[in-house]
Amino acid sequence: MENREIARLLSEVADLMEIGAEDGFRIRSYRNAASTIESYPERIDDILRNPERKVTDIPGIGKGIAAVLEEIGQRGTFQKRDHLLEQYPATLLELLRIQGLGSKGVALLYQHYKVATIDDLERICKEQKLRELPRMGAKLEEKVLKSIAQYRQRAGRFLLSFGKKTADELIPYLSETGGLDQIAAAGSLRRGKDTIGDLDLLVTGPKAPEALECFVNHPKVHAVLGKGPNKASIQYGLEGLQVDLRALPHESYGAAMQYFTGSKEHNIILRLRAQKLGLTLNEYGLFRVDNEQRVAGETEQDVYAQLGLAWIPPELRENCGEIEAALEGRLPKLVELSDIRGDLHMHTTETDGRASLEEMAEAARALGYEYVAITDHSKALAMANGLDETRAVAFAKRVRELNKNGLGIHILSGLECDIRRDGEMDLAEDALAELDIVVASIHSHMNLESAEMTDRMLRALESPNVRILGHPTGRILMHRDAYPFDFERVAAEAARRNVYLEINASPERLDLGSAHIRTAKSLGAKFAVSTDAHQTKHLGFNMPFGVITARRGWLEAGDILNTLSLKQLHEANIIRIKV
Ligand code: DGT
Ligand code: CA
Ligand code: CA
Ligand code: ZN
């Protein structure tokens, strides 16, 4: 079993224990183990099978969890889980994803009304029976119904990062067939959408039929949905992501990439344009209508060029003005990963990160960065052992010392300072003033009314020490929507006060998203693309998702703070680097 699957079993059990109101300490031990295992670099299965190794050597894995892991290794499940699944239907786990209920609410609904599925829950709300339960009311019914609608909308979608990982497993696997000319991902993955519905892969080459065969026989295939001479579809892995693979003739590769990259809306406009020019465009090529002669197809560049257009980067292909811009020669020169000179949001073991400052610095140096800001949490996040004023000031001093000796990369002393409910900074301004850079973020009281939330954020922007507004909308993809607030007012005010809006690159957030980025840019705002790394590997893994999101927001390098060199940051007086 893969680590990811083991982690899922453990965290599901923790969820069920929570529904059963079991001991919090034990629940936490399952959760911690799940998160450790999920990101553990070695396969737990391999360690279990090696008589010379012990899983208890892994930090955070005690004897109790070790026994559970042994059992999972032997029979794919464990006693505690079996026992819970006798008590509760597994479908309750899905109910936990509906906002507003929590484990206590789910337990109550199950005890009173035997609510076990989303459909049951919807019915109870519509029949106005939820409000009859203790501490629940009509307002909650409304909220739950709204949340159910949102849940259904996003069900069946997957994070972009998950699509990327899957493509990174399948593409090398298929390449091993040999005899392929091209193999690539198209669809929403190539456009960099924050979530994807399915994965679309294309191959060309003499051995493409063999690749299709190989594809449906991949060991992680959960189900084969269809297979023909030129196309196959599978459900991949436990999560069941659908993957479509299409085999095409070499001369159609560009046209097929164009067609299957989409978006559908972009393609519709493109086909209309072809028609106007007496051409017809499909996945096999661009053809003249009168004599059916092929005018383009082998490369995307040719297809766009024959339509009188500059090649349009996939991230822009959403029919949001990109075709007009291409026609008029005013496509933006989008920011690229190689433009990024540093990372301005990350955590260390000082708070809830997994690596030390030195380890993070070294990993960032290896990525070729010139600088990083270490931005641990502030004291309001007591669970994460957030920094108070004394620790923050001491940290700033420590960083100044470190930079004297030099770690091969410049360290900026930073803080991710909580924005309190009233918009005040969690730490006193004179302490914040000691730091090189302050990211201000909301981590609490996320259920305020729109007006109150807007005031809170405007108030936060007044702090003279805040340079970046962290994950500005608070969304968690497929879990939590952006909180309601007047985004345009906040973005305009941020622009006026020279506060940069974060594009948080962690794949669960991607916050700001592309629509907000475009709105903010039109209001004069500037941005920072940051990883919010909590361990070394996030630094390199997250950043491309942030950059692709920035590109979807039409951003150029000049819109982004961390494309500047340290010298430029210093000279522009954006960051007063303290020495
Ligand atoms: P997804 O999978 O929901 O995240 O989004 P896409 O964009 O990957 O959509 P998908 O997988 O249904 O199709 C891939 C691309 O193929 C799509 O972006 C455009 C093209 N395509 C698929 N079906 C149609 C269609 O009926 N008409 C047109 N014009 N293009 C289509
Ligand atoms: Ca797709
Ligand atoms: Ca598809
Ligand atoms: Zn953070």
Q: Is the CB of 202 under 6 A from ligand 1?
A: no
User: Which DSSP string do the residues of 509-533 spell out, in sequence order?
Assistant: T-BS-HHHHHHHHHTT--EEEE--B
What pLDDT, on the 0 to 100 scale, is given for residue 383? 83
3-state SS class at 173: helix
Q: Is the CB of 188 under 6 A from ligand 1?
A: yes
| Dihedral sign for Cα atoms in the order 255, 260, 262, 268 | positive
Going along the chain from its start, the domains and CATH numbers come out as 3-135 (1.10.150.110), 158-248 (3.30.460.10), 253-328 (3.30.210.10), 337-571 (3.20.20.140)
Q: How is residue 534 written in tokens?
A: 């909590």
Bond into 263 cis (ω within 30): yes
Q: Is the CB of 455 under 6 A from ligand 1?
A: no
Residues 475-508 have pLDDT tens digits of 999 888 899 999 999 999 999 999 999 999 999 9
Is residue 153 predicted with pLDDT exceeding 80?
A: no
Q: Predicted confidence band at 40 (pLDDT cuts at 50, 70, 90)?
A: confident
Which helix (H) or strand (E) element contains residue 289? Answer: none
Is residue 428 predicted with pLDDT exceeding 90?
A: yes
Mean pLDDT score of the chain:
95
Q: Is the CB of 187 under 6 A from ligand 1?
A: yes
Q: How far, in Å, is the centroid of ligand 2 from the Cα of 243?
A: 8
396 vs 398: CA distance, rounded Å: 5
Identify the bridge partners of residue 195 per DSSP, sorted by sequence position. 159
- Which residue would you say has higher pLDDT here, 317 or 1? 317
Q: How far, in Å, is the centroid of ligand 2 from the Cα of 194?
A: 12
What pLDDT, on the 0 to 100 scale, is given for residue 578? 64
What pLDDT, on the 0 to 100 scale, is given for residue 470? 98
* Nearest CA residue ID for atom 26, ligand 1: 264
Work out the average pLDDT over 277-285.
97
Q: How far, in Å, is the centroid of ligand 1 from the Cα of 55?
A: 45
Q: How is residue 420 written in tokens?
A: 């309190």
Q: Predicted confidence band at 573 (pLDDT cuts at 50, 70, 90)?
A: confident
Is residue 41 predicted with pLDDT exceeding 90?
A: no
What pLDDT, on the 0 to 100 scale, is given for residue 397? 96
Q: Is the CB of 56 under 6 A from ligand 1?
A: no
| Ligand 1, pocket-test mutation among 200, 265, 281, most atoms within 8 A of CB | 200
Among 417, 385, 404, which Cα is nearest to 502's?
A: 417
Q: How far, in Å, is the centroid of ligand 1 from the Cα of 315?
A: 14
| Ligand 1, pocket-test mutation among 189, 264, 315, 552, most atoms within 8 A of CB | 264
Question: Quick one: what percent of the chain has pLDDT higher than 90?
Answer: 88
Among 324, 426, 329, which Cα is nearest to 375's?
A: 426
Q: How far, in Å, is the centroid of ligand 4 from the Cα of 347?
A: 7
Q: Is the CB of 192 under 6 A from ligand 1?
A: no
Is residue 579 predicted with pLDDT exceeding 80?
A: no
Q: Is the CB of 260 under 6 A from ligand 1?
A: yes
Is residue 455 predicted with pLDDT exceeding 90?
A: yes
Which helix (H) or strand (E) element contains residue 373? Answer: strand 371-377
Q: How far, in Å, is the centroid of ligand 1 from the Cα of 260?
A: 6
Strand arrangement, sheet containing 182-185 = 182-185, 199-204, 241-248, 231-236, 221-227
Q: How far, in Å, is the centroid of ligand 3 from the Cα of 122?
A: 30
Atom of ligand 1 nearest to the CA of 189: 8
Task: Report pTM.
Answer: 0.82
Instruction: Name which of 372-376, 463-467, 480-484, 554-558 the model is least confident about.
Output: 480-484
What pLDDT, on the 0 to 100 scale, is given for residue 156? 83
Work out the average pLDDT over 198-216.
96
Is residue 281 predicted with pLDDT exceeding 80?
A: yes
Atom of ligand 1 nearest to the CA of 262: 18
